[in-house]
Structure 1
């Protein structure tokens, strides 16, 4: 099937209505006049008032997660026939987090506390169930071990280490599935030995463990919501098992190296309504594509169902009733290829009505519903949800995830392609300030921030609105986000070209992208700052080391400062990297601590801290287990001796990134002042 590419809007983005509190109303699409001053920090980095919506299986009700007046996030159900709203779940001391419909009458939800950071959390997410009218509310999973040990014998509950599976199945019973990871106990939150799958009745609380074929890592339910696939991991060997309905016995489908992959490697995606298994695989080619998998012959289909010219397939199936309607995927932006002719026609009608945005359609699980949920966005428009009535052709607004953002004031983003010094094609995301913003219409010779993504073995960005890029652009900076080699989503060659290239060719790619922006006249060569978190923080430090003439300053938050520290750790903290990854994955992708010791020393920012003399802003989380605080502290102690312009901040309660609005606002306020001092003026 040929690639289907979304029609990306370049005209003024839709200005949507404010979130409705008590009832739904039609969205107002008129643009507001541009504000004389850039939006405040809170508009970008505060928690969203509206954050999620999901149709009931029959499409007659809408569940919404919403907060108002600085209160906790609550779960609201709206009757679409009458517009009547009911608050079905709320807590005094916690926020509703994820939720999903169990069936047409019942929902299940877990919780979080958005007012505290990771380091202060003493509760787990728990699990609760409630009817759509607010009745029959009950706790299914405890929040703490202490509470679980004191539970009443008349009330069946599970301990805190049980987590909701986000696979809905048929949604025709009172049951859902949970995962229950079992750890080795060597250290707190130690390595996962295996993951149990638990079938749970949300009315009675009765639970049953599904028999597993080995040390399970993950599970996949079929379209009816029955366990059908299990992925096990022993050392580096990943095995995929199929529970054959004819024998009710597990049998193997494939085994391969989890980290190195191979020609026959694949990733299970979903089961279709007819029992067909859909997988993603490159089948020996460069790009991942969507294939079917023959369960009898244990072979991947020769021809893909969906393949993309420039991107790996990453997405999900879209079904309704017993029919496969299409597949959602990510190219430069999100899009859907529809196999169903009626859905193709519906997509065309909605796109004609909303021409300035990407419009993602989610139908109800039952095909006779008149409603579909539409999620719209663009590079200037944050995600906005609306209901569309197929019978009347009318939209009903639900809410915007960033209600304080005015699209007309936002920057534009585009995917550019350049060539690295060794000939490798490099995609990069370029965000340019709004013409009416700071700089008074200047689109050339701009101060620029090179924003390096973390991972590094993941895709950095996609076309759409993002808080960080838009905030920097609103302050007058061009923002360049290179998808350097090692980034995923752009083919196997691009991905593997980054293996063992930390501080080497991966770093060269970032520098080549920066020089491209200078050559294009976009960036002022004297006003460029490199910035990033996690691996992006590492790349920031190595950029200052390798290319001191290119980068005027650097911003590193939660960044790795020495590759060997990823392996050796420190007595004061424990990384959350599994021992299997450190033994089998990291040596292949990053470097072997013994065989590649010389390379790791040469590419260690910590060992070269004395070479960094540019202004530097560093920020770390005191409770970070991905890149523990000692990474930052060791580097800060080493660099400050010879560099008087190092700013250092620790958010003690935070983990690997900033979960609290106050810390996001504080950090990006520091970034704004830091950039203003060093590259903000000609």
Structure 2
């Protein structure tokens, strides 16, 4: 492996500073938008590239790209001019079968010629909604997509292991199912998967772990050997774990109990090649950290990595799976800490030129000689670069948005404010750049979906915070109780808090911002999607004295009806913990069941093709509001997008949404 010298990076950055636009070179920071207002249509665009994955030989990047108003999966050459970009799959078009169109959610290279693509669709199976996950291989030479393990399978498959040398194949966990069988959905087979070994070129498979009535989930080691089986009871939360030392051994039970719902089970998650060393995630101090795992005692060993006050996201192994590559985590922004010496040095060198926290290595070849990395300050549009560590050259690969280029837009910061019960809430604050220095500005509270998710200070992929700030609003995105990444206690604090304490956390941002002189407490609206849409609906019904208006996108308004529609929405065990088992709790926390209490104008947005939160949720709310004497066009407004889904997969729907939001805000909470 060639040594990476700092002199190399110094030579490379001189190309950047020269500002030439020749192929492979980089322009200086754009100032085109310094005084102009960016059109909402631009901010609503899909990013030019999303979720890039470099082939092991460093010649190709598989990535979703913006094309024709949607995101499509493409293979792009690392070196321009050597080959053409090749679109290989579109949502709903790559593979169609009797179960419906499928959305592309992930993809991984097995080798330089074989890409494994993950598809997902929301399917109703005998009255129960499931995420039907399927896999297919793409052969870059033959240009063919081949379904993998779809025959005699219910779906909800999971790739457990993917080869990285030799004949390309994968281990696939799946629920065996005979479509012609008369068995109902309650048979044990629907919960207990088998594991098959699938050839990526032919699709032929062999069973390596048959259906086991005691196991619901399998784990493979780095060599493709099934080592762990787990099962859990949806009603009680009880878990059993089985383990074996190798393929010739029998499974032995190593755990039988009810773990903390918000903790980590502390069982091996990552095995190094050879199968004798493993790592596990644990929350021994209340925050998710990475630990060594002692396979002889079956207990956690020493802590390898943790971040005080935050959970880590996950860990990755080197391409040969012989060592720990690094760990990802999010404080205000996403970060990687590398244990691999080469990537650790590369990250350090790139940060010297682009600034600490502004660089994220996204993907690399197997030798870590060709690096694709992203650069952006907070509030800056992203730019993607290729770093050739052998030559030391750096060139721009793509702008995240071709219109914005690398413009600095509305400033973003990470803030902490006090909740009314004394807890501290971290939030992302976006300030309107065209109103710099002004006080008492109009405010938008923008809660994230989930709710078990989080907001961060990296570039907003939906463009909502930047769009609203560009219009002149202060935007705050609170990581309220239940948001992930802040430890067990913060997640646990969401118990029985939907619509109550979690709602108060959102409201508490208002007096703090007002006290700072930033926002006018009399000019506040809430806007959210999914759980954020629920929160906005709840604000209109419960907290109208604190807001002038609310915008609810894809929101659940009737929790009881939602549980009838989707039994797994809260989950049986989750419902007991999160909302309480009494239907009265769900009724009281369902804003749509109390239409007479809606006291501020609300814009309700719903996709007609949304199967995660069905259109009936919005349509029923509209009907109830009318029966309660509310007037459409005055008290409430309804926008149903005929082709939109829960995931906003069409740019036209994204653009229409933000345009309608602006019209609504202009009327009920104008920016000026």
SS at 1:488's partner residue?
A: coil
The equivalent of 2:191 in structure 1 is 193
Q: TM-score with structure 1 length normalisation?
A: 0.81
The equivalent of 1:260 in structure 2 is 261
Q: How far off is 1:68 after superposition?
A: 5.1
What do residues 267-306 of structure 1 show as CA deviations (whole Å, max 9, x unaligned)?
Answer: 65422346432222212x22121112222212122x4211
What is the alpha-carbon distance in structure 1 between the residues aligned to residue 655 and residue 545 of structure 2?
31
Runs of 5+ consecutive residues of structure 1 not aligned to the other structure: 1-14, 114-123, 143-147, 149-156
The equivalent of 2:543 in structure 1 is 547
The equivalent of 1:8 in structure 2 is none
The answer (yes or no) to whether the contact 1:541–1:605 under 8 Å persists in 2 is yes
Structure scoring higher RCO (CA < 8 A, sep ≥ 6) equals 1
Alpha-carbon distance change, 628 to 140 in structure 1, aligned in 2, over 3 angstroms: closer
The equivalent of 2:414 in structure 1 is 415
The equivalent of 1:666 in structure 2 is 656
What do residues 598-649 of structure 1 show as CA deviations (whole Å, max 9, x unaligned)?
Answer: x434333123321212111001223333332222222222223433320012
The answer (yes or no) to whether the contact 2:226–2:247 under 8 Å persists in 1 is no
Question: Which residues of 2 match residues 514-593 of structure 1 at below 5 A?
Answer: 514-567=510-563, 569=564, 574-575=565-566, 577=568, 582-593=571-582
The answer (yes or no) to whether the contact 1:256–1:265 under 8 Å persists in 2 is no
The equivalent of 1:359 in structure 2 is 359
SS at 2:308's partner residue?
A: coil
The equivalent of 2:460 in structure 1 is 465
Q: How far off is 1:550 after superposition?
A: 1.3
Q: How far off is 1:361 after superposition?
A: 2.6
Determine which of 489, 504, 514 is the counterpart of 2:500: 504
Determine which of 603, 622, 642 is the counterpart of 2:629: 642
What is the alpha-carbon distance in structure 2 between the residues aligned to residue 374 and residue 477 of structure 1?
31
Q: How far off is 1:59 after superposition?
A: 3.2
Alpha-carbon distance change, 359 to 173 in structure 1, aligned in 2, over 3 angstroms: farther
What do residues 39-82 of structure 1 show as CA deviations (whole Å, max 9, x unaligned)?
Answer: 233322233443343222243544455465679835335365x9
What is the alpha-carbon distance in structure 1 between the residues aligned to residue 363 and residue 655 of structure 2?
37
The answer (yes or no) to whether the contact 2:282–2:289 under 8 Å persists in 1 is yes
What do residues 460-511 of structure 1 show as CA deviations (whole Å, max 9, x unaligned)?
Answer: 4454434111111111111111112222211222221221012222222111
Question: Which residues of 2 match residues 445-460 of structure 1 at below 5 A?
Answer: 445-460=440-455
Determine which of 106, 109, 116 is the counterpart of 1:101: 109
What is the alpha-carbon distance in structure 2 between the residues aligned to residue 323 and residue 510 of structure 1?
43
Measured on the aligned residues, the alpha-carbon RMSD in Å equals 3.7
Q: Quick check: 378-387 or 515-524, which moved more?
A: 378-387
Q: How far off is 1:674 after superposition?
A: 0.6
Question: Which residues of 2 match residues 235-634 of structure 1 at below 5 A?
Answer: 235=234, 236-245=237-246, 247-257=248-258, 260-261=261-262, 265-266=265-266, 269-273=269-273, 275=275, 276-283=277-284, 285-301=285-301, 303-321=302-320, 322-355=322-355, 358-361=358-361, 364=364, 366-367=366-367, 369-434=368-433, 437=434, 439=435, 441-466=436-461, 467-567=463-563, 569=564, 574-575=565-566, 577=568, 582-594=571-583, 597=584, 599-634=585-620
The answer to whether 1:139 aligns with 2:137 is no
SS at 2:58's partner residue?
A: coil
Alpha-carbon distance change, 521 to 91 in structure 1, aligned in 2, over 3 angstroms: closer
The equivalent of 2:159 in structure 1 is 165
What is the alpha-carbon distance in structure 1 between the residues aligned to residue 205 and residue 217 of structure 2?
19
The equivalent of 2:43 in structure 1 is 44
Q: How far off is 1:537 after superposition?
A: 2.1
Q: How far off is 1:560 after superposition?
A: 1.8
What is the alpha-carbon distance in structure 2 between the residues aligned to residue 109 and residue 340 of structure 1?
27
Alpha-carbon distance change, 252 to 45 in structure 1, aligned in 2, over 3 angstroms: farther
Q: Quick check: 422-431 or 635-644, which moved more?
A: 635-644
Runs of 5+ consecutive residues of structure 2 not aligned to the other structure: 1-15, 96-103, 122-131
Q: How far off is 1:399 after superposition?
A: 1.9
What is the alpha-carbon distance in structure 2 between the residues aligned to residue 61 and residue 408 of structure 1?
28
Alpha-carbon distance change, 287 to 213 in structure 1, aligned in 2, over 3 angstroms: same
Q: TM-score with structure 2 length normalisation?
A: 0.82
The answer (yes or no) to whether the contact 2:44–2:651 under 8 Å persists in 1 is yes
